[in-house]
A and B are shown apart, each in its own frame.
Chain A
Amino acid sequence: MEIDPFIFRLSIFILSIFVGYYVVWSVTPSLHTPLMSVTNAISSVIIVGAIIASLAGTNLSVFNQSSIFGFLAIVLAAINIFGGFLVTQRMLAMYKKKKKDKK
């Protein structure tokens, strides 16, 4: 008897939801905006799908119906990856502690 690989992926998915649940509850409320921008950046890992899609063409015809959508998705995801991580970096760099006394 063999287990469908789908079940494995489903297990990963469900366990990740739990991991996400506990990790996100521990995020301090003052960092909720960076949380949104960084989750936005990492969800753009969808670019790996876009890369595979964009190479659907052959050497002779790089652009076909399906690769064009892949290329478009690469541009969108890349905007997000660079934009998301950099803007998060910019925000996080601003969070400073009081200079003198510790909390």
Chain B
Amino acid sequence: MISANLLAIFYLISGILFILALRGLSSPETSRQGNLFGIIGMAIAITVTFLSIDNFSSGFLYVILFLLIGGSIGAFIAFKIPMTAMPELVAGFHSLVGLAAVFVAISAFISPEVFNLGSSGNIKLASLIEMSIGAAVGAITFSGSIIAFLKLRGLMSGSPITFPGQHILNLLILISIIILSYFLCLSQSPNFFWSLIAISFLVGFLLIIPIGGADMPVVISMLNSYSGWAAAGIGFTLENTALIITGALVGSSGAILSYIMCKGMNRSFFNVILGGFGGTDQTSSKKSKEQKPVKNGNADDAAFLMKNASSVIIVPGYGMAVAQAQHALREMVDSLKKNGVKVSYAIHPVAGRMPGHMNVLLAEANVPYDEVFELEEINNDFANCDVAYVIGANDVTNPVAKTDPQSPIYGMPVLDVEKSKSVLFVKRSLSPGYAGIDNDLFYRDNTLMLFADAKKMTEDIIKNL
């Protein structure tokens, strides 16, 4: 058994290692080392917790057993999961953190003496508040992440589910959470504690169902943030520095990501959370687009254009992930490079279903990360580029965001693909993108539409190169 002071110092060291783990992510070169720091930090935290236990009851064996069970499941998932399934994996993992926080809070509520928080029915007020926050936020994280997981996995429709009175209902529930917490602190009655958790589960559910598929980057980041705050709440309850530091880190990390994602869509956080985007525009745009002609091309035309170009910019989007076209895309780029074409990739902040989604897929396909650029870095290059190859992206290229103040996406930063000499747009049909608005780009003179599955089209282009 080690002393409480020594224990606290070790937890502090874990916390610092976790900070270094995040710091490492500032560049791909240092990131692997950073991950190692994170693993060491975790190992230290778990080991010293073991060492702090003074009576080695047989329960200890079960701790090891369950740790190994969970660990093997986790390792199995980590090795088996395809990179395209990363968004739902992250959502799934968030739900586990949330549920673990709920369980620890329940355990602390049932047996507060184990954690030195007083006795059952007579828990210290501060601890009770902290564990209620931990449990409530954990429960919201859990049910919210489950919905996000189902939507990302396609087991539940990605379109927003809205009903009248939704916002009022949510507001009433939030108020009832506060009232419940108040009565819980007053009476310490388990009934209030259980109702609090049940209602928080409901909040998570109601909060995420009205949010549509393309807003998922915000949702995932937000749930990431919540899982951090839940951990911090539990950290306060257990008076554990490692948990408090980590919770704060994760909480602010998720919040920053949500902010970056919202900025990428030029929408306020509340606008995304309140959900229901662009449902009404869909019908009107359908009517107008029938009359406008588009230039329809095939793989041969596309190959010819790109082969004779001196520079090509690739604009990947969620459609590339769906079609799993990243490997074919890299092959295409390889043959283009052999022909002396300069190729780079342009990534919009909200391309895909989670922050950095496209980057991971391109990295998986062995695309060097120094050929991949963010919106601000590359947007001026479109004017000097011969061909923009838009694969699976739509709204993030829509020039209407710059020109039409009436448009729901007006003001959203977009990639200036229309400035390049010609635009190749791989798309299955002319259907509008997620925002439900027509893309003006389809009808431009310099746009060639390639109607096909992203992967199939790319493979056909390779054959023609």
Contacts and interface: CB of A to CB of B under 8 A. Distances in A.
Q: Do A and B bind each other?
A: yes
Contacts of A17: 248, 251-252
A20 B21 CA distance: 11
Interface size of B as a range: 35 or more
Contacts of B417: none
Given A5-B239, A70-B107, A78-B71, A24 B356 contact: no
Nearest to B114: A56
B28 interface: yes
B27 interface: yes
B356 A31 contact: yes
Interface size of A as a range: 35 or more
A81 to B, nearest CB: 6
B413 to A, nearest CB: 13
A56 B14 CA distance: 24
B220 interface: yes
Contact of A86 (B58, B74, B97): B74
A45 B42 contact: yes
A43 B97 contact: yes
A45 to B, nearest CB: 5
Q: Which 6 A-B residue pairs are closest in the complex by CB-CB distance? A: A78-B70, A32-B356, A83-B74, A82-B74, A16-B248, A32-B355
Given A30-B363, A75-B66, A91-B86, 11 more contacts: A17-B251, A19-B249, A28-B25, A29-B347, A36-B356, A44-B100, A49-B240, A52-B238, A73-B104, A80-B74, A82-B73
Interface of A: 5-6, 9, 12-14, 16-17, 19-21, 23-59, 62, 64-67, 69-99, 103
Interface of B: 11, 14-15, 18-19, 21-23, 25-28, 31-32, 34-35, 38-39, 41-42, 45-46, 49-50, 53, 57-60, 62-63, 66-75, 77-79, 81, 83, 86, 89-90, 93-94, 96-97, 99-101, 103-104, 106-108, 110-111, 114-115, 126, 220-221, 224, 227-228, 231-232, 234-254, 256-257, 260, 347, 349, 354-357, 359-360, 363-364, 366, 368-372, 374
21 contacts: A17-B251, A30-B372, A31-B359, A34-B35, A38-B25, A39-B224, A43-B97, A43-B227, A44-B96, A52-B238, A55-B63, A56-B111, A56-B114, A57-B57, A67-B107, A69-B106, A77-B96, A78-B74, A83-B89, A86-B79, A96-B366
